[in-house]
């Protein structure tokens, strides 16, 4: 379950997250990789056409993917 962020720096815009993870961004400002992750279960909030991600959700999503590769 997602925990409420305690600080604004725990909420990342799509641009911020892409910079942190070195993901390419299209001209529209969206990341195809993040779109795939969203389809795979990564949670996000959309406001005024922009996507925002909570730090803990990103960590949980990446950790679950890591654990899945450990099993395979």
**Under a CB-based contact definition with an 8 Å cutoff, are residues 5 and 56 in contact?**
yes
pLDDT tens-digit readout, 34-43:
999 999 999 9
pTM, to two decimals: 0.86
- Whether residue 71 has pLDDT greater than 70: no
- 3-state DSSP assignment of residue 37: helix
Question: H helices then E strands: how many in the chain?
Answer: 3, 3
Question: Per residue in 38-68, is it b (16+ CB within 10 Å) or e — as a string?
Answer: eeeebebeeeeeebebbbebbebbeeeeeee
């Amino acid at each position: 379950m997602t925990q409420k962020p305690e600080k604004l720096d725990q909420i990342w815009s799509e641009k911020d997250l892409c910079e942190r993870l070195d993901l390419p961004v299209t001209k529209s400002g969206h990341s195809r990789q993040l779109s795939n992750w969203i389809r795979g279960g990564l949670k996000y909030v959309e406001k005024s056409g922009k996507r925002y991600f909570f730090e803990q959700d990103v960590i949980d999503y990446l950790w679950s993917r890591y654990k899945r590769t450990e099993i395979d």
